[in-house]
Amino acid sequence: MTQLLDQVIDQLGQVILGKQHQLRLALACLLARGHLLIEDLPGVGKTTLAHALATVLGLHYQRIQFTSDLLPADILGVSIYDRDSGSFRFHPGPVFSNIVLADEINRATPKAQSALLEAMEEHQVSIEGETRPLPQPFFVIATQNPAHQVGTFPLPESQLDRFLMSIELGYPDNSAERQLLQGADRRKLLAGIEPVLSTAQLQELQAQVNAVHAADALLDYLQALLDYSRQSPHYQHGLSPRAGLALLHGAKAWSFLHDRDMVLPEDLQAVLPAVIGHRLQASNDQSEPLSSGERVQRMIASVPVT
Amino acid sequence: MTPVETRLTERSRLLLLVATALVVLPHAWHLHAWVSAFVLGVGLVYLYLLRRQRTNVPRMVLLALVCAGSGAVLYQYGTLLGRNAGVTLLVVMLALKLLEVKQRRDAVMMVFTSYFLVITNFLFTQTPLIAVYMFAITILITATLSAITHDSPGRPVRSHLRLAGTLLLQALPVMVVLFLLFPRIVGPLWGLPKDAYSGMTGLSDTMSPGAISQLVKSEATAFRATFSEAAPAPEQRYWRGPVLWETDGRTWTTGGSGLQAPLPRDRLQPVDDRIIQEITLEPHNKRWLPGLDRPVDMSVRATQTAGSAWRSPQPIRKRIRYMVASQSGNLTGTLNPMLKTAALQLPDKLSLRLQQLAQGWRNGASDREVIQQALEHFHNEAFVYTLSPPLLGTDPMDEFLFETRRGFCEHYAAAFVLLMRSAGIPARVVTGYQGGEFNTVGEYWLVRQSDAHAWAETWLPDSGWERVDPTAAVAPERIEHALDLSGLDAGAPVRYRLPGGGWLASSWRSLRYTLDSLNNSWNQWVLSYGPRQQRELLAVLGIKQATWKDMVLGLLISVSVILTGVAGWMFLRRPRSADPVLHAWNTFCQRLGRMGMPRKPCEGPRDYLHRVVAFRPDLASQVNPITELYITLRYATPDDTAALLSRLKQRVRQFTRRVSHSKKFS
């Protein structure tokens, strides 16, 4: 099975150059049945990554470009009167697919955002009094521009919490950039990607991830991390239990990706920045707030592995 | 380096206020009321600012307050120095500093000032109660310090308090050693500034009607005494104080310097065994030293006056302890002419009625018969023994004897001595204490100011000075029981404190005994611990003739031993990994650490492995399997834990041995 995953990484690596770590994180996030938030400047390949992921996993994929005039119905779907049958007929919106790419999610109003976010949590949508289940598996890959850019509605903390991971792609390094500039058009490359996994295989992999063993010693370490976040003066709030679960699932997926059947402290440390970076806010009464990376690094450095 | 956080949380500001209030609180008793009002006002302003989330007070307002505070101190005391003025200034400035606290640095300064201000309590009172209070406050201040430096919203105040308590408890052994072994200077632990001695109560060197009846209203302790053998009977428990010779009809004084001179010892002819007592005298700012009547020898430097009272060379300004040898019966030999003159001195204006009364008794009778008649006169006539006698006019003794007939012991003693002198019998007034209460808990006698008493002594040719207590003739119960000071109506007869009563009374009594006994032990073992006691202790420990250098050395050694002990204990207490897997892994990591590759605490096993192998590829064959075994045992679910564990242990053992072996030959 893990050969399949290596193939997935290979395929993705052809399109997104020099971002092996982020690709693995993104894949781990999906294997852990979590939603993914990609946060970075425009033009570093967020959309390409989302598109490539959907294709390579062989999933049905829809994209919603979030704009400030986007309405919930544009996401969820709408009932339209059908003259032929004389009744209302529901036209499902783009959310009814396996992978939803919510592009520039922070450009939409909170109302539109929350329509999607509710679907993410419940895996179902309620439209006009009727509850409709979403297809399985269901992932949301959202991209957003840094909040300080013009015309954005930052996602509130409660909604950020629903993304299992938040990753940044960052600029490519020198050689990757050169390769990019010399290489073929990304769109063409995307079209060339073959699906590696079937839906059944993906669900099988997800089940295996869940079965990865987390020993007591590891849970001790995880709890020590959570405790630290709650006691330390550097954070506004400690990590929630949901964040703890997210860490554990993320770490399980990460160790599974690395062909292990038990979680090691290193796995936790590897997924920690992506899982808690968007969940931990720097405390207000600090004179010099720590950056997201510093917050995480401080936590790792402060909690001993026993 | 992380940036140092210098702002204060609201909670630590509140804690600072509470600590300051409690530090200042005991001073409210001995400083002027305006100081308390000032501190209260500043505290309220601070609280108001805190509620309004404001912390800065305009500089000019602060300046004005500082000027007002110092001005008030200067106006009150005329100086900024000395005990009262200094402490007041400190209290005022500490309160004002509250308004200026902006940063952690200010708060830390307040905390240190508070530590100092707590100590100044000892300049006023040194009771064990205040010591306990000070200890508690010190914990609170330390907790405040902890909150100032390490506060976080999630951390309960309790945890700061626990930290402070633990710190102070850990410091306790060091404190005890420092207390016992730090070289002592001669003098009390707490030398008081000069203005501390006003307001001390005790018998004075003069006596006028009403003086003693005022004094006995005080429940304060005069002294405590223990007898080396059985205590004498109540009617023998007279404690001798100043002896008064001279009178102007109203006031009695100790008389001229000749009467203060030492009495030649050879005149004393003891007739019975000595009674040895140890007396712990409370400071009274006078020079006399009490002792059981009649004291013949003292263990401290003192002189015996002609009246057999003892005087110290300096006023008693600190609590002292001394031994007294007393003999109840003394033949004092012939009366020398100077004493005889003094013992017969009469005021210039003496009432005729008084003289006639005395001479009426004389009428050819012997001295003893005259004394007997005088006592009978007091007993038979309608004399009342009262704590609140009516005021007396220009000729007090005449008025007392023939009109009011209500008086306290000083009236009876003075009138009796005047009557004796008028009848030609040498007599003098003796003041002191009578009785005392036995503390069954501490097994000592407690003598209070309320036991103050005055009696008379007459000189008889065959036996010398003999004690006569006219009060006993009027109110024999006084000699048996202590006074009951409750309910003092003007002119009412004295009531006595009688033993018995319900269980409430008896438990109240035993509580009082326990408290006083505690106080006494505190005085003896803590406050009066001086160079002598230190020498004795060192002698018990086998060190004789210790110089201060020896003591400092001993001190350093003891403190080092304690600290080493604490360090050792902490080391041993360090959680020994009960888990054998973890133990083997830690041994392995320590071994690698000694080779210059310590595991970072936050480093997982696999990361560590990679680092070690990158650094020392030659060790890979040994380090790899150990790490893999450890990971399997600790993070996976192996089938045969026991076999893997023994393999891990064996590998680790081999590794440590081989590495040290190869090291030897490398």
Q: Which residue has the higher pLDDT, A191 or A217?
A: A217
Residue with tokens 């302790």: B221
Report the C-alpha gap between A48 and A15 in whole angstroms.
8
| Per-residue pLDDT tens digits for B545-602 | 767 777 788 888 888 988 888 888 877 776 655 678 888 888 888 888 888 888 888 8
A250 pLDDT more than 90: yes
| Cβ-defined contact of B152 to A233 (cutoff 8 Å) | yes
3-state DSSP call for residue B267?
Answer: helix
| Per-residue pLDDT tens digits for A213-223 | 998 889 999 99
Measured between CA atoms, the residue of chain A closest to residue B630 is: A264
| Cβ-defined contact of A231 to B151 (cutoff 8 Å) | no
| Per-residue pLDDT tens digits for B386-414 | 877 888 877 888 888 888 888 888 888 88
CB nearest B5 (choices: A231, A265, A286)? A286
| CA quadruple B186, B189, B191, B197: dihedral sign | negative
Res B274: pLDDT: 82
First to last CA, chain B: 39
> Quick one: pLDDT band at residue A59, thresholds 50, 70, 90?
confident
Report the C-alpha gap between B648 and A195 in whole angstroms.
45
Mean pLDDT over residues A186-199, rounded? 80
Asked if B635 reaches chain A (Cβ–Cβ under 8 Å), the answer is yes
| Cβ-defined contact of B634 to A215 (cutoff 8 Å) | yes
Q: In one letter, which amino acid is A14?
A: Q
Report the C-alpha gap between B298 and B301 in whole angstroms.
7
Q: Do the beta carbons of residue A275 and residue A246 sit within 8 Å? A: yes
B299 pLDDT more than 70: yes
B664 pLDDT more than 50: no
3-state DSSP call for residue A189?
Answer: helix
CB nearest B635 (choices: A217, A286, A288)? A217
A284 pLDDT more than 80: no
Res B211: pLDDT: 76
Mean pLDDT over residues B290-308, rounded? 85
Measured between CA atoms, the residue of chain B closest to residue A225 is: B602
| Cβ-defined contact of B634 to A306 (cutoff 8 Å) | no
Residue with tokens 């009978």: B376
Percent of chain B predicted with pLDDT > 90: 11
Mean pLDDT over residues B200-217, rounded? 76
| Per-residue pLDDT tens digits for B101-151 | 888 888 999 999 999 999 888 888 888 888 999 999 999 999 999 888 877
Burial status of residue B356 (CB atoms within 10 A of its CB: 0-12, 13-18, 19 or more): exposed
Mean pLDDT over residues A188-204, rounded? 83
> Quick one: pLDDT band at residue B5, thresholds 50, 70, 90?
low
Asked if B604 reaches chain A (Cβ–Cβ under 8 Å), the answer is yes
Please report residues of A whose CB lies closer than 8 A to that of B582. 306
Percent of chain A predicted with pLDDT > 90: 11
Res B666: pLDDT: 43
Domain boundaries, chain B: 10-155, 206-497, 580-665
Fold classified for A2-202: Rossmann fold (3.40.50)
Structural tokens at position A149 = 């850019």
Res B19: pLDDT: 92
Res B355: pLDDT: 87
Mean pLDDT over residues A246-257, rounded? 92
Q: Which of A140-149, B482-491, B614-623 has the lowest mean pLDDT?
A: B482-491
Q: Chain A 215-244, CB below 8 Å of chain B: which residues?
A: 215, 217-218, 230-233, 238
CB nearest B602 (choices: A217, A286, A304)? A304
Res B265: pLDDT: 53
Report the C-alpha gap between B344 and B246 in whole angstroms.
9
Measured between CA atoms, the residue of chain B closest to residue A285 is: B7
CB nearest B602 (choices: A213, A287, A303)? A303
3-state DSSP call for residue B133?
Answer: helix
| Per-residue pLDDT tens digits for B47-86 | 888 888 776 788 888 899 999 999 999 998 888 877 888 8
| Cβ-defined contact of A231 to B602 (cutoff 8 Å) | no
Structural tokens at position B547 = 């110089």
Res B1: pLDDT: 36
Q: Cα A300 to chain center, whole Å?
A: 22
| Cβ-defined contact of A263 to B635 (cutoff 8 Å) | yes
Asked if A305 reaches chain B (Cβ–Cβ under 8 Å), the answer is yes
A142 pLDDT more than 50: yes
CB nearest B631 (choices: A231, A264, A287)? A264
CB nearest B636 (choices: A261, A300, A302)? A261
What are residue B363's phi and psi, to 5 degrees?
35, 50
| Per-residue pLDDT tens digits for B511-545 | 888 888 888 888 777 877 777 778 788 888 777 77
3-state DSSP call for residue A261?
Answer: coil
ipTM for the predicted complex comes to 0.85
Top residue of A285, A290, A294, A300 to mutate, by most chain B CBs within 10 Å, is A285
| Cβ-defined contact of A305 to B636 (cutoff 8 Å) | no
Mean pLDDT over residues A138-159, rounded? 78
Res B4: pLDDT: 47
Q: Which residues pair with B288 in a beta bridge?
A: B311
Q: What is the mean pLDDT of chain B?
A: 82
Domain boundaries, chain A: 2-202, 212-302
Please report residues of B whose CB lies closer than 8 A to that of A263. 635
Asked if B631 reaches chain A (Cβ–Cβ under 8 Å), the answer is yes
Strands of the sheet containing B295-298, edge to edge, are B295-298, B320-326, B275-281, B221-227, B444-448, B437-439
Mean pLDDT over residues B491-501, rounded? 61
For chain B, give percent helix, strand, coil, nearest 5: 55, 15, 30
> Quick one: pLDDT band at residue B257, thresholds 50, 70, 90?
confident
Res B108: pLDDT: 92
Mean pLDDT over residues A236-248, rounded? 88
B222 pLDDT more than 80: yes
- Interior/surface letters B473-499, b for 16+ CB within 10 angstroms, e for the rest: bbbeebbebbbebeebeeeeebeeeee
> Quick one: pLDDT band at residue B2, thresholds 50, 70, 90?
very low
Looking at the complex, report in whole angstroms how far the Cα of residue A247 sits from the nearest Cα belonging to chain B: 16
Radius of gyration of chain A (CA): 20
Q: Do the beta carbons of residue B606 and residue B627 sit within 8 Å? A: yes
Res B150: pLDDT: 76
User: What residues of B act catalytically?
Assistant: 409, 453, 469
B622 pLDDT more than 90: no
**Can you identify the CATH homologous superfamily of domain A212-302?**
Magnesium chelatase subunit I, C-Terminal domain (1.10.8.80)
| Cβ-defined contact of A231 to B637 (cutoff 8 Å) | no
Looking at the complex, report in whole angstroms how far the Cα of residue A297 sits from the nearest Cα belonging to chain B: 10
Q: Chain B 101-160, CB below 8 Å of chain A: which residues?
A: 151-155
Asked if B607 reaches chain A (Cβ–Cβ under 8 Å), the answer is yes
